[in-house]
Amino acid sequence: MSLAASIRTIPDHPKPGILFRDITTLLKHGPAFAQAIGLLADRYRDAAVQKVAGIEARGFIVGAALAHALGLGFVPLRKRGRLPAEAIGHDYELEYGSDRIEMHVDAVAAGERIVVADDLIATGGTAEAALRILTHAGATVIECCFLVELPALGGRERLAGLGCGMHALIAFDGH
């Protein structure tokens, strides 16, 4: 089954010239979703991963499913102000402003081996923020994984510049 074919492309969303890669069509197709999570789980099964961290919002879907497939705990990386207990965070830049993601201070222990999961990597700004939070807490991020990569936007290079590898199941040209 072609995972790329299970992802809908919506032209001119959210603005003209953008090709939006909509993973909801992959998620609603049980065999495609199972295949995607299976491929990611196979990659990390023997990597001594201890937890999976997922970035809000669609990274929760990918990350929680991956954690379940590996029998591991899941760490939610949330938007500003959404966590009920003491949290640490990192601000990052968006195309039109800035945002922040946060994590509970007790979510990971020093030295824990973590995989960061999200649905898509474009510029890598959100993934960088996740990497910085986790390493600040003393965890070791062994890799970031995604369903989709948009290589033209430079996310892979951004993470490599921070010393972190990444893996994506599908790459689409363009924005």
Q: What is the pLDDT of residues 137-165, one digit of tens each?
A: 999 999 999 999 999 999 999 999 999 99
**Are residues 79 and 94 in contact, defined by beta-carbon separation less than 8 angstroms?**
no
Which of the 8 DSSP states describes residue 18?
Answer: -
Give the alpha-carbon dihedral of 42, 46, 52, 57, to 10 degrees. -20
Other beta carbons within 10 Å of 11: 9
**Are residues 97 and 65 in contact, defined by beta-carbon separation less than 8 angstroms?**
no
How far apart are the C-alpha atoms of 101 and 39, rounded to whole Å? 27
- Match 């990274």 to its residue by tokens: 59
Q: Rg of the chain over CA atoms, in angstroms? A: 15
How far apart are the C-alpha atoms of 21 and 146, rounded to whole Å? 13
**Are residues 66 and 52 in contact, defined by beta-carbon separation less than 8 angstroms?**
yes
Tokens representing 114 are 């973590």
pLDDT digits (tens, 9 = 90+) for 83-94: 999 999 999 987
Q: Which CATH architecture has domain 47-171?
A: 3-Layer(aba) Sandwich (3.40)
**Are residues 59 and 119 in contact, defined by beta-carbon separation less than 8 angstroms?**
yes
What's the pLDDT band for 95 if we cut at 50, 70, 90? low
pLDDT digits (tens, 9 = 90+) for 3-43: 999 999 999 998 898 899 999 999 999 999 999 999 999 99
- For residue 10, what are the CA distances in angstroms to 27, 94, 136? 16, 21, 37
Show which residues are catalytic.
58, 95
Q: Can you give the pTM of this predicted structure? A: 0.95
Domains of the chain, residue spans: 47-171
How far apart are the C-alpha atoms of 7 and 170, rounded to whole Å? 10
